[in-house]
Chains A and B, each alone.
Chain A
Amino acid sequence: EAAVTQSPRNKVTVTGGNVTLSCRQTNSHNYMYWYRQDTGHGLRLIHYSYGAGNLQIGDVPDGYKATRTTQEDFFLLLELASPSQTSLYFCASSENWNTLYFGAGTRLSVL
């Protein structure tokens, strides 16, 4: 089974703070994704990538940047964090975008 590791698992920051969420997958999957999960909204796609150096905009990209440095590593950057970005963030990887393997999630609180 695909292994997707997210770090940190929990993060607390203040409004205006700078946050980087990390994701690493060890199965050489082409596709990687960042979703946020909020009650009443389900899973919403922030950014995704289908290879090192590639970036695609998802449905809720405002306030987020992403970078895919290698086949394994995908980062989500919040440069000026706001309380509205308090959420549970999931990274996922996929070989062919049809089946997603999710990491354990990062819970972010912006105070």
Chain B
Amino acid sequence: EAGVAQSPRYKIIEKRQSVAFWCNPISGHATLYWYQQILGQGPKLLIQFQNNGVVDDSQLPKDRFSAERLKGVDSTLKIQPAKLEDSAVYLCASSLVGWGNEQYFGPGTRLTVT
């Protein structure tokens, strides 16, 4: 089966610019996650969707980050304006609904803010 798709794979922007990342989850997976992984650290959950509703966005910096999943399938994560500390890999994952279901990760988008 096809895995989680993400694009772009790499992005370089200057601080104060905006950027958007796209994710297409595995077909049939109602739950979608966005994680931020800073170099040398484990992934940190930014936001979790179930279908098109937000389940958890407690660690999303809402003054500059936004995410949507309008039709309950694809999702976009946006940063506006970007800061230097936003340099990281942004990972998208998806899973079936329910406790204990495996999260499948995409390859990530590596963002460099200069």
A binds B: no
